[in-house]
Chains A and B, each alone.
Chain A
Amino acid sequence: MSLSQAFSQSLGVSQTQGRFGVEISDPVEKEKRVNELVQYMLIMDQKKIPIKKRDINRVILKGQNRAFNGVMEEAAEKLLEVYGFKIIELQDKLKDSYILVNNLELNESQKKLINTNQKDNAEMGLVFVILGMIFMNQNVIHEDEMWHALKKLGIFQDDLHSTFGNVKNLIMKEFVRKGYLRTELNTSTDPPTNDIYWGQRAEHEITKRNMLSMVCDINETQPSDWTYQMQLVMQEDQGSQQQEAENSAVPGPSSSSR
């Protein structure tokens, strides 16, 4: 969306100030960094790859790492207030990286307004199918089981797919990189194979309730037929209720925005 900037950059019409700029204690300077961070997060989020704290320090704060928390806090507030996105800090192996999750509760026709890229939509369809498999298989699936199931959809791990291209790379590398899937090498098998789980982005973007009702729509069953999965849905509901109670106890930007 910023072709003119990209062009101007290569023309050398770039910004000259900044590197030797004023201290961040200057409110104007801080405001500038906050706005740059908001812009940076929105741009990077388009590729759905988690945004690293290290990159934010390098690109936005230009080494003023100590200012990170203050700048991030204000950027998070703006992203929520103006753009309707929540910043999520990832955990475990993905610690020190961040994703944006849509904070607006959208119905199906509203969702169509923001997902207009056909290729992305097709890939999201595939992500959903795999997440559904994992969920119905009690939260983990072996890689070979997944490929076996995908054959029925005309997707083969070693073939180029007409829509997805190198589908093995897409699922095992791209979807993992974007945080939709998480893989763990299972050494108890010979040769070792990958176990595939929901990734952290999936946990934040997709509710188990929606996933179960979608799967049930497809195979014409009732959510209550799936005892294990229903239990997880209940747990999730309780978790989010608890979260809400905590949020309303501490008034902050996230509760005042909605």
Chain B
Amino acid sequence: MEVFGDGHRLFIQSMMSRGMMNISEVKEVISECGLDVETEFKDKVVKFVRLINQHIGPINLEIRKGLEEENGQPYYILANTAETSISRLSSTYSPNELELFKKLIESIVENEDGKIGSLAAMNLTDKLEKKIGKEEAENFFNRLEDDRWIRKNTNGKISLSVRSIVELDQYIKDVYPDYVKFCSLCTKLCLQGRGCENCGAKFHIRCSNVFFNKQGSNKTCPEPNCRAPWGQVVIH
């Protein structure tokens, strides 16, 4: 039986300062926390995180695992699980910055490919009631990227990171019910993915890759009611 100790406390503190970690970061932190990570790592992480979640649950925190949409990489995220009047204070952003972030989320969710260009993002400042200067907005987007809420790809396109998707899952579903799509394979929220031109269903890149790999050479739409030939899209 694993006993809750200083290693778990250090992991919680590290998680609170980072917000999210990839697997190699988790490995690094857990080994600094005094756990041997060379053997049965996966099993140990699951137990370690489960014990922590039992302790942080009462203050509505939970460490959750999620996949980055763009590359399918797994991450551990510290997420809030409930709404209380005090938790809004936790945000390190000003109310007006949050308004801008909401506009950013809106346009990302409404865009079929789940991302928007940096210029379009900058122009969102015009939609705010209380104006934010362009330079200030650019600094804010950089902070969002540093805090790992958004990602910028090599073309400067902005998308929501796995941290946002795990943390804002319910928010996005509640506010944009007409726009959100769910991956037909894993049933989770899907912003960036590929769609079927026949039935319009959407799939995460990773989920569909796994599906197509099993299918072999005659690829069809993964949606059971569709199964239209899948040819147009190049599979990486």
Binding site for B on A (CB under 8 A): 1-11, 13-15, 18, 31, 35-36, 38-40, 42-44, 46-47, 59-60, 78, 82-84, 102, 104, 106, 109-110, 113-118, 258
Contact = CB atoms under 8 A, between A and B. Distances in A.
Given A5-B80, A84-B6, A110-B32, A35 B58 contact: yes
A196 B181 CA distance: 58
B86 A43 contact: yes
17 contacts: A1-B91, A3-B101, A3-B168, A4-B80, A4-B171, A7-B98, A14-B85, A18-B85, A39-B59, A39-B90, A43-B86, A43-B90, A46-B92, A78-B58, A82-B56, A84-B9, A106-B10
Interface in B104-157: 146, 149
Contacts of B83: 4-5, 8-9, 13-15
Contacts of A31: 58
Nearest to B82: A5
Interface of B: 4, 6, 9-10, 12-14, 16-19, 28-29, 32, 55-56, 58-60, 78, 80, 82-92, 95, 98, 101-102, 146, 149, 164, 167-171, 174-175
A3 B91 contact: yes
A83 B78 CA distance: 14
B13 A11 contact: no
B59 A38 contact: yes
Contacts of A59: 86
Given A3-B91, A82-B56, 16 more contacts: A1-B16, A1-B90, A1-B167, A3-B98, A4-B83, A4-B167, A4-B170, A7-B102, A9-B83, A42-B59, A47-B92, A82-B4, A84-B10, A104-B6, A104-B13, A113-B32
B98 to A, nearest CB: 6
Given A39-B59, A84-B10, A2 B90 contact: yes
A115 B17 contact: yes
Contacts of B87: 2, 5-6, 39, 43
- For the complex of A and B, the 9 pairs showing the least CB-CB separation, nearest first, are A84-B9, A5-B87, A43-B90, A2-B87, A113-B14, A39-B59, A6-B88, A2-B80, A2-B90
B39 to A, nearest CB: 22
Contacts of B84: 5, 15, 36, 39
Nearest to B12: A83
A39 B84 CA distance: 10
A9 B85 contact: yes
Contacts of B29: 113
A2 B17 contact: no
Contacts of A5: 80, 82-84, 87-88, 90
A7 B29 CA distance: 31
A40 B59 CA distance: 9
A83 B17 contact: no
A31 B57 CA distance: 13
Given A83-B12, A104-B9, A43 B80 contact: no
Contact of B88 (A2, A18, A42, A84): A2
B175 to A, nearest CB: 7
B20 to A, nearest CB: 10
Name which of A31, A40, A114 has the most chain B CB atoms within 10 A of its CB.
A114
B149 A3 contact: yes
Contacts of A114: 10, 13-14, 16-17
Contacts of A104: 6, 9-10, 13
Scoring A5, A9, A118 by chain B CB atoms within 10 A of each residue's CB, the highest score goes to A5
Most B CB atoms within 10 A — which of A7, A13, A35, A44? A7
Nearest to B19: A1
Contacts of A38: 58-59
A35 B87 CA distance: 12
Contact of B18 (A4, A18, A43, A116): A116
A16 B28 CA distance: 42
Contacts of A11: 174-175
A46 B149 CA distance: 18
Contacts of A109: 32
B121 to A, nearest CB: 17
Contact of A83 (B13, B82, B167, B175): B13
Nearest to A102: B13
